[in-house]
Structure 1
Amino acid sequence: MVYSVIGEGAMVLHLLFLAYVALGGFAAWRWPRMFWPHLACAVYGLGVTVIGWPCPLTHLEDWGRRNAGQAGLPPEGFIAHYLTGVVYPTEHLLTAQLLVALTVTLSWAGALYLHLQRKRPENAA
C-alpha cells in the first residue's frame, strides 16, 4: 500500500512538474519572483530532454510501482509512458517538445516586457 502511494504520488508530482515547466513562466507575469524557480525547472527539463539527465521522479515512481508489485515504467520513461501516443501522436514528439519550448519562450518574453513596463517611470510617455 505504501509503495503504491509513493508510485502514484510521484506520478502526480511529475505531471505537476511538467505543467510547471510548460506554463510556469506565465506565473512570473503576476509574481515576478517566480521567474527564477521557473528558470531552474526549465533548464532541468531541457537537460533531461536534450542531454538525458536522470529524472528522480521517474526513478521514484518506478521504484514505488515495482515494490508495490505493479509493472514499472518502461525504459523510455515517464513521458513515453503517459504522454507520447496518449496526449499527442508518437510521430509528433518533436513537435510537442518544440511547442513547449515556444510556450516557455513566449512566457519569458511576456515577463520581460512586463518587468520593463513596471520599471518605466510613470510620467514617461
Structure 2
Amino acid sequence: MKAVYRTGADLVLFSHFLFALTAVLGGFGAIAAIWWMWIQVPTVIWSSAINLVGWTCPLTPLEKRLRVAGGGASYQGGFIHHYLGPLVYPRGMPRTLSLVAGVSVLVGNAIVYGIVFLIR
C-alpha cells in the first residue's frame, strides 16, 4: 500500500510541476492556438496569487501527506521553495522568492500576450 501512496505523491509532484511550467511558459502556447489562453490565463492568475499573497497551493499539503503515508519524509515550505528555489534562488530569501516569482509570472506572461495580440 505504501507504494500506492508514493506513486500518488510522485503524480501530484509531476502535476504540480506541469502546472508551474504552464504558468511560467504556457503563454507561448497561445501563439500557436489562441484557445490555449483560456487554460493558461487562470493558471497565471492562480499561480501569481499563491506567490504574492503567500497562500499554500492545495497540491503541496496533498503531496506531503502522500509522501508521509508512503513512508517518506515531508519537507518544510512550499513546492517552489523546496524543489525550484535551490535551483534558481540563493538561500535566505523565502518571502522575497515568492514575490519575485509572482511578479515574474505576471510580467512575463503580459509580455508574451502582448506579442500574441500584436501577431493576431
Which amino acid in the other structure matches residue 36 of structure 2? Answer: M
Bigger proportion of residues as helix: 2
Partner of 1:79: 80
Q: Which residue of 2 aligns with 1:9?
A: 11
Number of positions where the alignment pairs a residue of Structure 1 with one of Structure 2:
114
CA 1:6–1:71: 2 relative to 1, 3 Å: same
Q: CA separation in 2, counterparts of 1:105 and 1:29?
A: 13
Seen in structure 2, the aligned counterparts of structure 1 residues 96 and 77 have a Cα distance that, compared at 3 Å, is closer
Q: TM-score, structure 1 length as denominator?
A: 0.80
> Equivalents in 2 of 1:83, 1:62: separation in Å?
16
Q: Larger C-alpha radius of gyration, 1 or 2?
A: 1
Of the three residues 93, 101, 113, the one matched with 2:106 is 101
* Structure 2: tracts of 5 or more residues without a match: none
Counting aligned pairs with the same residue, the percent is: 31
Cα distance in 1, alignment partners of residues 101 and 47 from structure 2: 14
Contact kept, 8 Å, 2:47 with 2:102, in 1: the verdict is: no
- What is the rounded CA distance, in whole Å, between the counterparts of 2:46 and 2:75 in structure 1? 21
Contact persistence 1:6–1:60 (CA under 8 A): no
Question: Cα deviations across residues 3-55 of structure 1 (Å, max 9, x unaligned)?
Answer: 00011111111111111000101100110011121111011111111123331
Q: TM-score, normalised by structure 2?
A: 0.83
* RMSD after superposition: 1.8
Gaps of 5+ in 1: 116-125
| Contact 1:21–1:41 under 8 Å retained in 2 | yes
Shift of 1:112: 1.4
Q: 1:18 aligns with which of 17, 20, 31?
A: 20
Residue type of the alignment partner of 2:80: I
Q: Provide the secondary structure at the position in 2 that maps to 1:69.
A: coil
Q: 1:48 to 1:97 in 2, by over 3 A?
A: closer
Answering whether residue 88 of structure 2 is matched by residue 110 of structure 1, we say no
**SS at structure 2 position matched to 1:83:** helix
> 8 Å contact 1:23–1:107 — kept in the other structure?
no
